[in-house]
Structure 1
């Protein structure tokens, strides 16, 4: 019997190396797209267009690409080409229908290892980019906490290296958009894991992000979206950013955030400052979906929305987060200083003595159909929220042995509220249709067997048309009165759409993930959970 030892994402990507003809939206044939090959044993003097004559550096390939091109990395370790540089800085864009893709050569397991630079993978003002099936392994194992604390404030990249990060190009003002970061394993970067700053139309799907943020002097997290900017119209009835199916654990900030001279963040997943920005940028008007994620044993929260709006945190499992002893504890799954946030169908297993959720300066934040177990009494309780043991198979903080699936008799089975969800759960099991939705990231399996591998393109995992959630506990804050918790009706938000990640097939079961990534928060950061 297969064991689901949560979670190995074995990324199955099969992309032909043969050129293909790109058709523009008007039907006109453009130049054939090119596949570039990269190997540490190659040469940047090669043509790079065959596996027999690969480039040596990913940067050379990135600087050669055009719309529709594919960059395939062969076996080996990829480092910076010079001290302080990123392993790769992606500045060239694809176009609609013809993204530029970075992936492993079929059957290969390349590893990007940033040591002296700020990033493994940086996306700077580039759009229509896919990064999938790679591994980004930072050098945190070579750094001591004592050494990192002594270096805090000196802004040295080696202590702040991020795995995967997307940013605005400060020179041109171009923001990154239409990004798919899927099926990667990013870990042990002393800075952040996967981040998107000033970006839009971002899909972060089925990655494993662990053991990041330990030694940075900035307030980073495992997965974070900061100060999103609408590319085109912003509509709160349309999902433009999706964080789905990720496994996020062991991320913690152990060095003070030098901007405020205190520890902050180290969350599993954070949606951060989409409104009330400290610059002239407008509030983000699109909608964000955070669904089907497993977040456990992080220093800060499991998942939360901070100073944000139009966010749905649905069907996630969060276990024993808020482990940091260096800062005031964050709640397990919550919203703070946020508006129009729905927190539904989650399984929240809270560390002893730590907060469960929050009503802090929220307006129109709804908690309902969640299961809370352990920790402090919830500040907000919807009519269908439960305080009960969720009946997880074998929860724990060791990914190799833990099993977070539901067991028979769990109160999470068939007790959630119908909602717009990916068609499959985090393990690839198809979710039941109709109103019998299970709570948490895992759909109950009667046989106890792990789900079959997901072999269809991720577009088949798109978000369905919404169903209005049931009435819940809504936190409402009057501008002139103390915060209160009251019961209010919650309505559906119309035809919520999907950004639609594509073409990654994943098998789950085991203890590790093939992947890559890099996230950065060394730009401006914000005070998080208690201001």
Structure 2
């Protein structure tokens, strides 16, 4: 792998660090190979860039701003795009892109392209636009003041197609995550689009001869506000999950009619899931503005569309602010939706969409359909129960400066930054290694400020210490170390870093992570083999794809596989296969969290917590006092030797009838069934407790929260069942193998 450099001070160079290219276009015309990287130094580049050289599965062609946001791309007058991508396996990271009559970043007929951490603004058409593509990743960008010339959006993926021929349905093929999209489209045009984010026509209704694209797409942790059109729109597109987004006061174009309104819009689309979102409409612009739009026409019905644990609000408490034309279902409060409820942002008028004290969005979400590991700030996503919206309350100290711009109508990025105020010479201290194995900083050097660390070649260890640092490992296998820090949350896939000494850090070419002595969240997932060393503390380690080494260190640590296909992991033997688990190695791991698919999780002789997540999972605790959490789907759980606890967080997780969970070895007086998280009486305030009817085969007493049990001879099974609403009909069941004589002491109610 070769690294090429570009600098405004270059002149006829060969792209080396000492003799950089003068323009980005020169670098992109070089003999680039898979895994090569073009690093652009701070400055203004007056050019329109075309990328036409492919990377491969072995490595992307990467175009990266050396200092995030400091390389400014300004296309000359009359140019169409800022960056045009016509190649596969490409990453674009960290630029400020302004202008162009067309799209800021445009990609056509490509696959495995990642657009990361860019600011894209003041483009005539979309900020970021993909057409006829596959395996798309748009993460960590800000788009604003785009789409002034017509039916365009901040972020748009249009008519995806399976151009690779890959038929695998494991995981999400397209990810739109952790972006902020605001103030796109002039507010004077009756535009049909102008959305913050749109997933558009995967059914190919506007282009004949192409099959419906039904591979899974994720729209997660995004903030969209003050756009001319809808906040997040899924139109003529299926198999899309829209989760933990915040949409606020979109539909600002006063000339749009009611057909084109909705903070969250599911139009002519099926098999989609909308969960844990916040949608706040602004009817002052147009009375037809609604928080949710679940509509269709021409006899089409939006089939199998899930609306769960979302908040809607239009400024008037109790008004649902939902439109359901075409015979489509209304989001139900029974599915955790809170309709007509103020989410109580800390300061929406000043651009702060964090949740205030007493917000119903706090702990109001669900992990039934999957949930990300971090929020838009990069903080740990789940504190207690997952929150609704893009920000998780209480995941760390509230940030001093919100991630969102301080004034929604006036972007904080200068509107005319053609002359950068920052000199091209870095103002921060640099520590530069060699082509050997370095530890930076060297003994005796201070690392307490905002510094840049460059490992260059070799296997380096970079210790940024306090301050917002740039950690660039260079070539080789490199480690970012947070030993001596408070708890950190670092993600190599998204490059998000927060908490302790990680706060504000920028990460590049880092393969391994070492955590602190506290409770860290370390995530690999950059496609290679990562070594994640948690150190002391109760750490959560997720390697992602590739054969990873997960070393929990001291205390109780968890290996997690959220976002993976089904996995089979055995802590007793160390065997790991399937999905992201393939090739993983475990050191000092006590707990496992599975994927959203069918997992097999096995503990060891110690005390383990096994959480299957969604899917039909098989959990086996082994020896030791274990906690088994089946999650959604029909699960089979075996506690093993010692006293074990089987946890059910919702009635839906337990299942009913043929879908009910099974416990194969429940021991009366030894094991416990934990129902504490289930509200036994949903009509009363608070989390009501169950009352146990001790007599075997007792009928329900028509009081909410009744718990009974009976033996089914044909199945040789004892069945525990609960009635949540007092109608005398079971709402969930749990099956125990054999005839078990149960008492109240066998439950946590």
**What is the TM-score of this pair, normalised by structure 1?**
0.70
- State the structure with bigger RCO (CA 8 A, min sep 6), 1 or 2: 1
What is the distance in 2 between the residues matched to 1:191 and 1:255? Answer: 15
1:438 to 381, 387, 396: 387
2:166 equivalent among 222, 233, 247: 233
User: For residue 116 of structure 1, what is the aligned residue in structure 2?
Assistant: 78
* Aligned equivalent of 2:294, options 333, 347, 359: 359
Partner of 2:351: 402
Match of 1:200 in 2: 134
Distance between the aligned counterparts of 2:66 and 2:279, measured in 1?
38
Q: Secondary structure at the match of 1:358?
A: strand
Measured in 2, the distance between the counterparts of 1:250 and 1:92 equals 33
1:6 aligned residue: none
Runs of 4+ in 1 over 3 A off after TM superposition: 234-237, 253-256, 451-456, 461-464, 467-471, 489-492
Counterpart in the other structure of 1:78? 45
User: Does residue 66 of structure 1 match 2:28?
Assistant: no
User: Residue 34 of structure 1 contacts residue 70 of structure 1 at CA under 8 Å; is this kept in 2?
Assistant: yes
2:309 to 369, 377, 380: 369
Does the 8 Å contact 2:220/2:245 carry over to 1?
A: yes
- Selected match of 1:101 from 62, 74, 79: 62
Shift of 1:116: 2.0
| 2:272 aligned residue (334, 337, 341) | 341
Map of 1:187 onto structure 2: 121
In the alignment, is the contact (CA less than 8 A) between 1:221 and 1:266 conserved in 2?
A: yes
The C-alpha deviation readout for 1:40-95, integer Å capped at 9, x for no partner, is 3323x321122x31112211111112111111111221123xxxxxx111000111
> Which residue is equivalent to 2:233?
304
Q: How do 1:417-432 and structure 2 match up within 5 A? A: 417-418=366-367, 419-432=369-382
Unaligned runs of 5+ in 1: 1-32, 81-86, 139-157, 169-175, 257-261, 472-488, 493-531
Q: CA deviation at 1:422?
A: 2.2
Task: Indicate whether 1:350 and 2:296 are aligned.
Answer: no
Q: Paired residue for 1:385?
A: 337
- Total equivalences in the alignment: 395
CA contact (8 A) 1:468 1:491 kept: no
Distance in 2 separating the partners of 1:447 and 1:287: 31
Q: What is the Cα deviation at residue 367 of structure 1?
A: 1.4
Partner residue, 1:287: 216
- Aligned-CA RMSD value: 2.7
Matched-pair contact (CA < 8 Å) for 2:183–2:227: yes
Verify the 8 A CA contact 2:69 2:119 in the aligned structure 1. Answer: no
* Per-residue Cα deviation, 1:204-244 (whole angstroms, up to 9, x for no partner): 11111111111x24x21000110111223345553100001
Match of 1:209 among 143, 149, 152: 143
1:491 to 1:193, Cα distance in 2 relative to 1, 3 A: farther
TM-score, with structure 2 as normaliser: 0.50
The answer (yes or no) to whether the contact 1:182–1:206 under 8 Å persists in 2 is: yes
- C-alpha distance in 1 between matches for 2:137 and 2:36: 20
Q: Deviations over 1:10-67 (max 9, x none)?
A: xxxxxxxxxxxxxxxxxxxxxxx22111123323x321122x3111221111111211
Deviation for aligned residue 1:250: 0.3
Q: What corresponds to 1:259 in structure 2? A: none
Partner of 1:55: 21
Q: Is the 8 A contact 1:74 1:108 kept in 2?
A: no
Q: 1:113 to 1:430 in 2, by over 3 A?
A: same
Residues 307/265 of structure 1: CA separation in 2 closer, same or farther (3 Å cut): same
Query: Aligned-pair distance for 1:412?
Result: 0.9
Q: Could you say which residue in structure 1 is the equivalent of 2:108?
A: 167
The equivalent position to 1:135 in structure 2, one of 96, 115, 118, is 96
What is the CA–CA distance in structure 1 between the aligned matches of 2:169 and 2:654, rounded to whole Å?
Answer: 13
1:42 to 10, 17, 31: 10
Cα distance in 1 between the residues matched to 2:173 and 2:68: 32
- Cα distance in 1, alignment partners of residues 382 and 294 from structure 2: 32
Q: 2:245–2:276: 8 Å Cα contact kept in structure 1?
A: yes
Residues 253, 264 of structure 1: 8 Å contact kept: no
Q: Deviations over 1:137-159 (max 9, x none)?
A: 22xxxxxxxxxxxxxxxxxxx5x
Q: Distance in 1 between matches of 2:160 and 2:103?
A: 19
Measured in 2, the distance between the counterparts of 1:38 and 1:342 equals 44
Q: After superposition, what is the alpha-carbon deviation per residue over 1:298-348, rounded to whole angstroms, capped at 9, x for unaligned?
A: 001110100000000011001000000122242001200001111111011
Larger-gyration structure (1/2)? 2
Secondary structure, counterpart of 1:364 in structure 2: coil
1:453 to partner: Cα distance: 7.7
Q: 1:270 corresponds to which residue?
A: 198
- Tell me the distance in 1 between the aligned counterparts of 2:196 and 2:68: 30
Question: 1:478-497 counterparts in 2 under 5 A?
Answer: none
Residues 289, 108 of structure 1: alpha-carbon distance in 2 compared, 3 angstrom cutoff: closer
Instruction: Note closer, same or farther for the CA distance 1:134–1:454 as it changes in structure 2 (3 Å cut).
Output: farther
Is 2:201 the partner of 1:252? no
Q: 1:4 matched to which residue of 2?
A: none
